[in-house]
């Protein structure tokens, strides 16, 4: 096989609860991931070395050197296999860069699946998940897809059943936010307010809403402990969230570390109307309807 293409989804966090800062600099999380229908495609082609090139709207913002997570994923897979493999990785980007939707993690997951197939390794899913966990907290979910709760740093996953399809609108912002800077701002704000940070807990009402497919209940229980920090760094996101609520969103939240804003809609028609309302009023330059849950990294 000389070429393999894998489709990988973006994610939104319907719950992101952040525990106290640990001695190792990380936080314990309860992180409910939900894969949505905004996709990157990663194609791996035969080559003597591991390289990457990127096309699409966000391509100019993606590193093509050793800082690219897809390159690191391919190298980690080759090391696991104990051989020197090569691949040209071609990434078609539709997931925003540094947008809180795990675009880099999705590309890493795509590279793992594509190179596993291209190189004929035949490694089981469990091995790919183990490699993914070493690459970053969001990479295992990008492999898994669907809806799942992540604990620890977010990489310890348990699948969650959902009772139906949920419809979303994502307002995509120009310019990204560094995940590390958002966590640092979260810690700063907590220290400044002298708030006692409790151990993160899974929201039972949110779990019930996911299980029954109740969009109204899910919208009422969306939560993100990083949202205050993201709004502190990007105050212009607050009017976007307000505009989504004014256009009838069942829930409005910053996705992950931001700056993408996520709006839960009643159904597909409402999502289209909501997206149109956000753009025509100038509340968002780009608003993309999507649905979830969808599958994780998938061979095409």
Q: Is 103 annotated as a binding residue?
A: yes
Task: Count CA atoms closer than 13 A to 185's CA, side-chain side.
Answer: 18
Helix (H) or strand (E) holding 142: helix 139-144
Q: Is 173 annotated as a binding residue?
A: no
Q: Is 296 annotated as a binding residue?
A: no
Q: Is 108 annotated as a binding residue?
A: no
Helix (H) or strand (E) holding 156: strand 156-159
Q: Is 104 annotated as a binding residue?
A: yes
- Backbone Cα Rg of the chain: 19
Q: Is 133 annotated as a binding residue?
A: no
Q: Is 67 annotated as a binding residue?
A: no
Q: Is 154 annotated as a binding residue?
A: no
Q: Is 44 annotated as a binding residue?
A: no
C-beta of residue 11 within 8 angstroms of C-beta of residue 296: no
Q: Is 152 annotated as a binding residue?
A: no
The Cα 163–Cα 262 span in angstroms is 20
**210: its two tokens:** 């996911």
C-beta of residue 251 within 8 angstroms of C-beta of residue 223: no
Cis bond upstream, residue 170 (ω within 30): no
Which residues carry out catalysis? 11, 138
The Cα 88–Cα 204 span in angstroms is 45
The binding site for ATP consists of 96-106
The binding site consists of 96-106
């Amino acid at each position: 096989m000389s070429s393999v293409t894998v489709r990988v989804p973006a994610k939104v966090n319907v719950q992101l609860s952040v525990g106290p800062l640990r001695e190792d600099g990380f936080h314990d999380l309860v992180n409910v991931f939900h894969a949505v229908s905004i996709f990157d495609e990663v194609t791996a082609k035969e080559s003597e070395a591991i390289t990457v090139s990127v096309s699409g709207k966000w391509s100019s913002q993606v590193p093509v050197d050793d800082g690219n997570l897809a390159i690191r994923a391919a190298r980690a897979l080759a090391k696991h296999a104990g051989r020197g493999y090569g691949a040209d990785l071609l990434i078609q980007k539709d997931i925003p860069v540094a947008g809180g939707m795990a675009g880099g993690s999705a590309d890493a997951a795509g590279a793992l699946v594509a190179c596993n197939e291209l190189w004929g390794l035949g490694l089981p899913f469990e091995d790919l998940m183990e490699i993914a966990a070493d690459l970053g907290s969001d990479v295992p979910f990008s492999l898994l897809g669907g809806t799942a709760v992540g604990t620890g740093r977010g990489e310890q996953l348990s699948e969650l059943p959902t009772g139906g399809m949920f419809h979303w609108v994502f307002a995509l912002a120009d310019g990204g936010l560094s995940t590390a800077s958002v966590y640092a701002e979260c810690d700063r704000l907590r220290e400044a307010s002298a708030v006692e940070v409790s151990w993160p807990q899974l929201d039972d009402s949110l779990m019930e809403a996911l299980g029954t497919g109740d969009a109204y209940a899910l919208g009422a229980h969306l939560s993100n402990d990083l949202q205050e920090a993201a709004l502190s760094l990007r105050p212009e996101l607050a009017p976007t969230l307000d505009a989504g609520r004014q256009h009838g969103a069942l829930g409005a939240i910053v996705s992950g570390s931001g700056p993408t804003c996520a709006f839960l809609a009643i159904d597909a028609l409402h999502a289209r109307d909501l997206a149109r309302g956000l753009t025509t009023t100038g509340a968002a330059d780009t608003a993309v309807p999507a649905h979830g849950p969808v599958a994780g990294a998938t061979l095409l």
